[in-house]
Amino acid sequence: MPKLPPLNERAQHLLKVLVERYIHEGQPVGSRALAREAGLNLSPATIRNVMSDLEQLGFITAPHTSAGRMPTVSGYRLFIDSLLTVKPINDQVIRQIRDDLGHQESSGDLLETASRLLSEATHMAGLVSLPKRESSAFNHIEFLPLSEGRLLVILISGQQEIHNKIIQSPRDYTASELQAAANFLNHRFAGKDIRQVRETILHEVSETRERLSQELIDAAAITQLALDPQGERRDSVLIRGEINLMDFSEIGNLEPFRSLFETLHQQEDMIQLMDRCIESPGVQIFIGEESGHKALDHWSLVTSAYSINDQAVGVLGVIGPTRMAYERIIPLVDLTAKLVGAALNHKTLPPL
Amino acid sequence: MPKLPPLNERAQHLLKVLVERYIHEGQPVGSRALAREAGLNLSPATIRNVMSDLEQLGFITAPHTSAGRMPTVSGYRLFIDSLLTVKPINDQVIRQIRDDLGHQESSGDLLETASRLLSEATHMAGLVSLPKRESSAFNHIEFLPLSEGRLLVILISGQQEIHNKIIQSPRDYTASELQAAANFLNHRFAGKDIRQVRETILHEVSETRERLSQELIDAAAITQLALDPQGERRDSVLIRGEINLMDFSEIGNLEPFRSLFETLHQQEDMIQLMDRCIESPGVQIFIGEESGHKALDHWSLVTSAYSINDQAVGVLGVIGPTRMAYERIIPLVDLTAKLVGAALNHKTLPPL
DNA sequence: ATTAGCAGTCATAGGGGTAGAGTGCCAGAA
DNA sequence: TTCTGGCACTCTACCCCTATGACTGCTAAT
């Protein structure tokens, strides 16, 4: 049995051409076509030998005996990691994204627009995970007593986003007590991270409990409740253009599309998946099974984190068929993430 | 040429059986099958004569020469208006809807749950239009100055729903001026209709302008802006289970489904359509073209308004294929609307 | 008014045959 | 050793044809 050759230059080049052609045509690539396309002046027979090697190594596979070959997940992975040559983005597209993002009022609208733009530019689905309230800046807080000992907390974050929350108050407070607590928080913490605010308060109270007035301890308790991130996950991933994905499902077998659709709208799963991309900088790609979700098996996810003040706060990207035009999509997602970050930074205003 | 006979008892009965069978089987009904099913001891040949009459009258039609007949829109209309015998709803379903609706915290969650329940119970898509903020009760208002002369308006409506809105303030106000304005509004108008509040203010100011202090006139101006319904239509129709509709599209021709999907998510169109149902009491049905929207041509919409304090404030319903089981769907939509109304009334609390 | 019978229409499913694309392998050329 | 032409083989996709069966409308008889 002959030893498998390492992947030489020629084999890599052929793999690259094969993947490119498969992405473009959507059909298994045969030796004849590959010989023509590769520009190496080799006969189909020679190509066949190389293809056979590539198949042994697990980079390509044939759906049946008399069909051409198509890339496996490892094939796509190798292609993306070391063979891909990205294409520069059309200037007009850049301009449109920047303009559309620039004209949005609230940061919520801005992120929604980003999702829509991604979907329109790619004819696939756009995904944007909202920043966790936790990681945005504390700007202003206000307490409003409701009936039955409940309190309405109004929290304004750095991007002028307004969050409402109703909490059960530990005891009855007078309006002026609440006002005092709010004033204290607004002066002391404006501009800080919300998570930081929570942790600082927690820390200080436990340190100096005995020296604090009951009022301050109470205020701290309310604030803890108010800033508690629990139960704060409504519509945290904005999906646009999901219907576009229908076109990539083979006709007559829509089950894959259906379960993809259901998974996409399963907030928890998607948040978890997107969160895995927030740590690493640059563009992240999940190909087929790599995501670990059954429903995403035949789809790829291209994502990038977007940042406010150099801190990654959310993730955006695109989902589409495994055979998507990565050389176009990757720079597009990268750019969009940067423009969204820039637009958000621009929106960040000084505290009230 | 023989005169067309009026629709006698027998013809009506046959139409009813035909529609029922077509809804159940989804395929054109032939004379043989109809003769068997009708229980009238008539031969297929006789049935054929009657069917021919029904076709002349425009109630049924045949897709091609050698196929059976299926109902036209008029056929469905006649069936629904005068032939239909509704089925009582399964007790367990009633209980589940009531329980699920009862366990929701906010009225937003409640309406979302209603949409989901409708979709699950019917395997079609559920639709719920949110009450216009305009038509809900005024409970409490608060003004909060932001930077650059903008004001944050916090409006709490009768169902303890919280609405935020940022307005451009006509001039700079001090915190106490704003407080005074809010206090005035809260005392004077608590419990009234929001629309009423707006109109009353508008009216009073124009009546007695010269006798009012500048402060009051300013407060009125702010309030006008704050309660202005313009630009208040984000996600006003909650759609759930839209993917279910895919199953009813013939395989291989998904274009109708695609354009339906897009129309459904076209907020403006849907709001307008749902609003047409808010006036009349009871269940309203649009069959096929009756809705006037191209994309809804082969679909039916069954709706009913839901009420708070006997005033219709929103519409809910179901969208599905024209051949849906109306005898089950109609009472279901009716019931759900009543239960949603009851749950909302139960949630309505006295002003702060 | 109803029915049986009959001729005619049309969609659908299945079988058979073929074209075409592609492969693996081998022997010979470079 | 590397490459190539040739050949046998495989498998899909497509087309054509036919058989089948579910209908209809019409007519003549009951």
Q: Based on the domain organization, do A242 and A339 belong to the same domain?
A: yes
- Domain termination site, one of A173, A203, A226: A226
Band (B232; pLDDT cuts 50, 70, 90): low
Phi, psi (deg, nearest 5) at residue A219: -60, -40
Q: What is the DSSP letter of B329?
A: H
Over residues B26-47, the pLDDT tens digits come to 999 999 999 999 999 999 999 9
Model confidence band, residue A352 (pLDDT cutoffs 50, 70, 90) = low
List helix spans (H) across A81-193: 91-102, 107-122, 175-189
Same domain flag for A166 and A123: no
What pLDDT score does A187 carry? Answer: 87
Phi, psi (deg, nearest 5) at residue A233 = -135, 30
> Do residue A147 and residue B251 have CB atoms under 8 angstroms apart?
no
Res. B203 pLDDT band, cuts 50 70 90: confident
Residue B2 lies in a domain: no
- Same domain (yes/no): B255, B266: yes
Q: For residues A143 and A191, state if they share a domain.
A: yes
CA distance A210 to A187: 23
User: The tokens of B321 are what?
Assistant: 């294929």
Distance between the alpha carbon (CA) of B65 and the C1' atom of C8, Å: 10
Q: Do B103 and B148 share a domain, yes or no?
A: no
For B96, the token pair is 């589940």
The whole model's pTM is what? 0.90
Q: What is the mean pLDDT of residues B296-313?
A: 94
pLDDT for res B3: 44
Instruction: Return the residue of B nearest to A241 by Cα.
Output: B262
Give the residue from A279, A275, A308 showing the smallest Cα distance to A291. A275
Query: Is it the case that residue B261 has pLDDT exceeding 80?
Result: yes
Q: 3-state SS of B8-70? A: CHHHHHHHHHHHHHHHHHCCCECHHHHHHHHCCCCCHHHHHHHHHHHHHCCCEECCCCCCCEE
With beta carbons less than 8 A apart as the criterion, state whether A192 and A158 touch.
no
pLDDT confidence of residue A233: 58
What tokens does B224 get?
């006008």
- Same domain membership, residue B70 and residue B146: no
As a whole number, mean pLDDT of residues A165-189 equals: 82
The residue range of the domain holding A325 is 91-132+236-344
Q: Which of A212, A232, A240 has the alpha carbon at shortest distance from A317?
A: A240
Using CA atoms, how far apart are residues B183 and B177, in angstroms rounded to an integer? 10
From the list B147, B160, B262, which residue is nearest A243 (CB)?
B262
B116 belongs to a structural domain: yes
Match 């089981």 to its residue by tokens.
B325
Query: Is residue B231 in some structural domain?
Result: no
In a domain, A148, yes or no: yes
Residue B73 belongs to some domain of the structure: yes
Question: pLDDT tens digits, residue range B117-159?
Answer: 999 999 999 999 998 877 778 888 888 887 777 788 888 887 6
CATH of the domain at B167: 3.30.390.10
B83 Cβ partners below 8 Å, 6+ apart?
A: B12, B15, B16, B19
Closest-CA distance, A106 to chain B, in angstroms, reads 10
**Is there a single domain that holds both residue A166 and residue A221?**
yes
Domain of residue A26, CATH code? 1.10.10.10
Which residues are within 8 A (CB) of A22 and not within 5 positions of it... i.e. 6 or more apart? Answer: A28, A29, A70, A71, A323
- Residue A301 resides in a domain: yes
DSSP SS3 for A308: strand
Taking the C1' atom of D3, which residue's CA lies nearest? A46
Q: Total structural domains in chain B?
A: 3
Minimal CA separation from B332 to chain A, in Å: 25
Give yes or no: residues A74 and A105 share one domain.
no
Are residue A71 and residue A215 in the same domain, yes or no? no
Instruction: Measure CB to CB from residue A147 to each of B147, B252, B352 and give the nearest one.
Output: B352
- Structure-block tokens of residue A32: 């004849």
Same domain membership, residue B336 and residue B248: yes
Domain boundary among B200, B226, B252: B226
A196, A330: one domain: no
- B213 and B68 in a single domain? The answer is no
Last residue of a domain, one of A48, A83, A118: A83
